[in-house]
Amino acid sequence: MDVRLQRFNTGLRKFKIGLPMPKTRLRRFDTDLPIFNTGLRKFDAGLPMFKIGLPMFKIRLRRSNTDLPIFNTELQKFDVRLRK
């Protein structure tokens, strides 16, 4: 687990507060989706597959306010904002 992934996991703790998803599901993404393991560089490339399984998740990501610095740096297009 590199520094980037660790920072991302730390953010997921606050992330699940705004999402109706169980923590176990979020944790599973780190191991099952290689896009998360590569520092989210290929997040956009793998997003279509991600959207198919989690349409609500995509909508929430688009509408929120930032608290995750890694999203701002790696996913400038996404600009994730967490709702409090």
Give residue 20's pLDDT: 45
Distance CA 7, CA 9 (A): 5
| Residue closest to 81 by CA, chosen among 59, 63, 57, 65 | 65
As given in the structure block, the two tokens for residue 53 are 């399984």
Weakly modelled stretches of the chain, pLDDT under 50? 1, 10-11, 13-67, 69-79, 84
For position 29, what pLDDT does the model report? 44
